[in-house]
């Protein structure tokens, strides 16, 4: 197994919502955190399970099964989980997998991103998490809440927040 040959097989999580800041966090992870033999678990949270996707209702509490990188670009995967991974994100993930010799998988959750990311840390379990910060203004953080602030305060593993210098939303 690659993890045994190259490293300790850490499970490094990356919270991904397909925003610029979460893609920046993926790039940062590739350059600074990941090493051969690691497993990159991409954690994606959708607000709610769609009722027309019956399986997602079954996985609402535990999250989806692990989705290998090779399946992320397939139309069936997008339909089954209600998520379409964009070309830029796929390129980043494929580059990480190939260049860093890292196994990349995705796990999708449904619900409040703050709570579900913290659940993922414990249930997977993750050794380390990387998350982007959208750079909301103080008022937007008060109104919308900051996912990264909540995760840093409640996570049971080390968390690195990659600050976006372009304000979003």
Say which CATH number the domain at 40 has: 3.40.50.620
- pLDDT, one tens digit per residue, over 51-93 is 555 565 566 678 899 999 999 988 888 888 888 899 999 999 9
Any bridge partners for residue 106, and if so which? 42, 67
Instruction: Confirm whether 18 is domain-assigned.
Output: yes
CA distances to 57, 59, 92, 116, 167 from 109, in Å? 10, 8, 21, 7, 26
For position 62, what pLDDT does the model report? Answer: 82
- pLDDT, one tens digit per residue, over 19-46 is 999 999 999 999 999 999 999 999 999 9
Instruction: Confirm whether 169 is domain-assigned.
Output: no
Distance of CA 101 to the CA centre of its chain: 18
Instruction: Confirm whether 11 is domain-assigned.
Output: yes
DSSP assignments along 17-51, one per residue: -SSHHHHHHHHHHHHHT--TT-EEEEEEEESS--T
Report the predicted TM-score, pTM, of the whole model to 2 decimal places: 0.85
For position 104, what pLDDT does the model report? Answer: 97
Q: Does residue 168 have a pLDDT over 50? A: no
Residue-range definition of the domain harbouring residue 96: 2-163
SS3 call for 92 = helix
Count up the domains in the chain and report the number.
Answer: 1
Round to whole Å and give the CA distance between 11 and 145: 27
Instruction: Confirm whether 144 is domain-assigned.
Output: yes
């Amino acid at each position: 197994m690659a993890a045994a040959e190259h490293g300790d097989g850490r499970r490094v999580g990356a919270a991904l919502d397909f925003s610029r800041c979460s893609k920046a966090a993926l790039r940062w992870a590739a350059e600074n955190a990941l090493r051969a033999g690691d497993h990159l678990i991409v954690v994606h949270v959708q607000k709610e399970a769609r009722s027309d996707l019956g399986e997602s209702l079954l996985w609402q509490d535990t999250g989806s099964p692990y989705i290998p990188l090779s399946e992320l670009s397939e139309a069936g995967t997008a339909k089954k989980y209600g998520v379409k991974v964009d070309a830029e994100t796929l390129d980043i993930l494929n580059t990480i997998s190939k260049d860093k010799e890292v196994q990349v998988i995705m796990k999708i959750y449904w619900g409040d991103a703050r709570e579900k990311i913290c659940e993922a840390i414990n249930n997977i379990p993750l050794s380390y998490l990387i998350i982007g910060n959208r750079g909301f203004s103080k008022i937007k953080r008060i109104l919308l809440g900051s996912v990264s602030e909540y995760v840093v305060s409640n996570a049971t593993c080390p968390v690195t927040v990659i600050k976006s210098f372009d304000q979003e939303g």
